[in-house]
Amino acid sequence: ADGLVIAVDGPAASGKGTLARRLAAHYGLPYLDTGLLYRMVARTMLDAGKALDDAQAATASAAGFDDAAIDESRLRGREIGEAASVVAAIPAVRRALIDRQRRFAAAGEGAVLDGRDIGTVICPEATVKLFVTATPEVRAARRHKELAGRGEAATLDGILADIRRRDARDSGRGDAPLKAAEDAVQLDTSALGVEEAFQAALAIVEDRR
């Protein structure tokens, strides 16, 4: 696309989704939460009673679902995030999802995408790349609050363990691991509120565009 393409990557519960959504609203750009695609594959596998390491079934599901079928309310749970990171480590699943992400980025006058590999693999030519981080403890506290808001009870320790396991899996996989692109700007949101983080992100985008 000729317009402004903003890639927002980072680990689970880093605040990248909130930031990406606000940036998209600010610039009037379409927004894609690419984690939902992997969550959708995981949901389909669990619903069909398939083992998460069944690469063939996971790939068929990644290639087959309709974007219109994505129902965010069924994809936000704790179990689905974990399952998504398992199917996301399967290279053929990632391959099956590349085109729809790239098409989204190129379809209009710019776009905002968030995920793990947007700056490195999906949109290496993005105008601006943000790599959003926060300490595992801060991320666990945020996720705890979010899950409580959804009525999903979980202990802080349990969530922290989830986050560490997910970080290790997402960073350690061979295909498109979670890592900052060389030309990404790092934004540590550990000590920032939502508004402060947004202002910091906006300053980076304005500086780079």
Residues that bind ligand C5P (CB under 6 A): 12, 34-35, 38-39, 81, 84-85, 88, 115-117, 166, 170
CB of 10 to ligand C5P, least distance (A): 9
Q: Of 43 and 110, which CB lies nearer to ligand C5P in the complex structure? A: 43
CB of 36 to ligand C5P, least distance (A): 6
Neighbours of 156 (CB within 10 A): 13
For residue 85, what are the CA distances in angstroms to 99, 198, 208? 19, 26, 31
Q: Of 22 and 166, which CB lies nearer to ligand C5P in the complex structure? A: 166
Q: Of 32 and 192, which CB lies nearer to ligand C5P in the complex structure? A: 32
Binding site residues for ATP, as ranges?
10-18
Q: Of 15 and 35, which CB lies nearer to ligand C5P in the complex structure? A: 35
Start-to-end CA span in the chain (Å): 14
Neighbours of 125 (CB within 10 A): 11
CB of 75 to ligand C5P, least distance (A): 8
Binding site residues, as ranges?
10-18
Buried (b) or exposed (e) across 54-86, using 16+ Cβ within 10 A?
eeebbbbbbeebeeeeeeeeebbebebbbbbbb
Distance of CA 118 to the CA centre of its chain: 9
CB of 151 to ligand C5P, least distance (A): 19
